[in-house]
Amino acid sequence: MPLPTEEIQRRRTFAIISHPDAGKTTLTEKLLLYGGAVQLAGSVTARKSQRAATSDWMELEKKRGISITSTVLQFEYHGYKINLLDTPGHRDFSEDTYRVLTAVDAVIMVIDAGKGIESQTRKLFEVCRKRGVPIFTFFNKMDRPTREPLALLDELESVLGIGAFPVNWPLGTGFEFRGVYDRQGKQVHLFEKIPGGGQYVAPVSVTELSDPAVRAKLDEESYAKAVEELEMLDIAGVEYSPELVHDGKLTPVFFGSAMNNFGVQLLLDNFLERSVPPAARVAVDVGAIEPQDEKFSGFIFKIQANMDPRHRDRIAFLRVCSGRFDRDMQVTHSRTGKKVRLSNAHRLFAKDRETMEEAWPGDIIGLVGYNDFGIGDTLAEDPRVRYDEIPRFPPECFAFLHNPNTGKFKQFRQGLEQLLQEGVVQLFQFPDSVQKVPLLAAVGPLQFEVVQYRLQSEYGADSRLENAPWECAKWLPAGTDSKALRLPTDVRLAEDSSGRPALLFPNTWTQRYFGEINAGIALLDLPA
C-alpha cells in the first residue's frame, strides 16, 4: 500500500555549491538564521574573534576558514522539513562534494557577483547537470563592487549553457545597493544595514517601485537603470517554466548579500516554494523506486568518524529514498546480504544529534556504530533493491604515509583504516615490493593534510608525508596478464585496496608511450 504523500511533499533536501570564498558557508549560516534554526549567526570572516560557523565542526576547518567535511543540518520552517547539506567548498574536496550531490534533490549555486563564474562552480555545475539536479542561483556580495547584473545573467547562459530567470533584480550595486525588486510580487524590498546586522535578521521595508521612498534611497542614475533593465527583462527575458527548472534547464536567479542578510529570506522562501520534493530513484535490476513505495530503502553517501570526540563513534549518513523508516526496523544490507536492525539512528544538526524515531523519503539519517557499512551501500526492506548512486573519481595526487613512532603503530593502523573506510583517501600497495609503507591517493592534496590532522587529534598517532612521483592511476582490464606488460621508466604496477591491478603514471607522456608499446591494452579510468 503506498505511503501518504503529505510527509514526502513537505521535504526539501538540498546542498549549497560554490567556488571557494564565494560565500557558501555564510549563506548556509544565514539560511539557518532565517529558518529559525539558530538565534545568532556566527561570523565566518572573523573566526578568531567571533563564533565559528555552525556547520563547520572540525577544528582544522576553523583554523583554515574553509569547509572540509560535509555536514547535515536538519530543521523545520513554515511547514517544510529541510535537510540542508553543507558541502566542502575548497577546491581539493570535490570528491566528497560529488558524493553529497547524489543525496540531494536540488542545489543552490552561490556566485560572487564581483567575479562571476569560477572554475569550481563550473565543475560542480556539470556534476549537477549530468544528474539532472534543479539549480537555483544566488549572486552574492551585491553590496560590494560587482559586474553588471545583465552581464552576470548572460554568463550563466553562455558559459554554463542554462537558461536564467531573475526572480528578483538588484536596485543599485556595490555601495549603492539598496535592495531588490521582486518581479512576480511586483514589490521592492529595501534593506537597511545595522551594527552587527549580519548576526541578526535585517530590517526590511516592502513597497512599490514608484514609491517616493524608493527614489529617495537610490540616486537618479541607479533608479533609472533598474527601471530600464526591468522593462528589458519583461520584454526580452526568459519566461519562467517550473518544468524547465525541475529538469535542470532553467535556473531561478536571486541577488543579495549573505554577509548582511540582504535577500536571504526571499531566496529561502522562493526556493522552498519552487523546488521539488523527493523524486523516484533508479535501483539496479529493479528500476524506478517511487518515494511513496511502502517498503523502506536508502543508500549511504558518507561516513564520518569522531564527530563527537567524547564518544569516538562512527556515523553512516543515509539518504532515505522510499518508504518510512522506524527505529528498530530490520533491513537487508545489500552488499553482504545480511539482515540488520537499525536501532541507533540519529537526527543531525552539525555535530549535535538526537535519537530519530521515524524518517521519510528525502530525510538524512545518521546511523551510529555500524562498522560493516560502507559508502554506496544500500539498506532496504526488499533485498532485491540496490542503488548505484555514488560516483568514483580517479586520484590525481599520491603520497607515502610514514609512521615515525613505532610505539603508536596500533593507533596509526586503526586511524588509517577508519579514514580509508570513510573514503577520505584511497590506498595503493605494491605486490612486488617488501616495503609496506601505505601509498595514499586523493583527488586533492588537502585531503592528505586532513588524514594527518585526524590521525593526530583523534588517535594520537603522528605521521610523516612523503610526496610520490605519480599523478595518475589507470586500472587494468580484467584478465590482463600484468607480467607480460612492458612498463616505461617510473611507471609502477600497484593494487588498490580491493586487490585490483592498476598502473601509476608520472605524467601524460608515459601514458601515451605505454599505449604505443602495449598495443591492444585499453586501460580503465576507474576499476570495473
CA distance 67 to 464: 24
CA distance 439 to 428: 5
Q: What is the pLDDT along the chain (528 residues), one digit of tens a residue?
A: 567 789 999 999 999 998 888 988 889 889 988 888 776 555 333 333 344 455 554 555 555 554 434 468 888 999 999 999 877 655 555 567 788 899 999 999 999 999 999 988 888 898 899 889 999 999 999 999 999 999 999 999 999 999 999 999 999 999 899 999 999 999 999 988 767 666 777 778 888 999 998 988 898 999 999 999 999 999 998 999 999 999 999 999 999 999 999 999 999 999 999 999 999 999 999 999 999 999 999 999 988 776 655 656 778 999 999 999 999 999 999 999 999 999 999 887 766 778 999 999 999 999 998 888 888 999 999 999 999 988 777 888 999 999 999 999 999 999 999 888 878 889 999 987 777 899 999 988 878 988 898 899 888 999 999 999 999 999 999 899 999 999 999 999 999 988 999 999 999 999 999 999 999 899 999 887
From residue 258, alpha-carbon distances to 199, 201, 202, 266 in Å are 11, 11, 11, 12
What domains can be seen in the chain, in order of their start residue? 12-73+91-274 (3.40.50.300), 281-380 (3.40.50.300), 397-517 (3.30.70.3280)
* Strand spans (E) along 430-521: 439-442, 464-467, 472-475, 492-496, 501-505
Could you identify the residue written with the cell 526580452? 236
* Cβ neighbourhood burial of 379 (10 Å; 0-12, 13-18, 19+): buried
Q: Which pTM was predicted? A: 0.82
CA distance 141 to 276: 27
End-to-end CA distance of the chain: 38
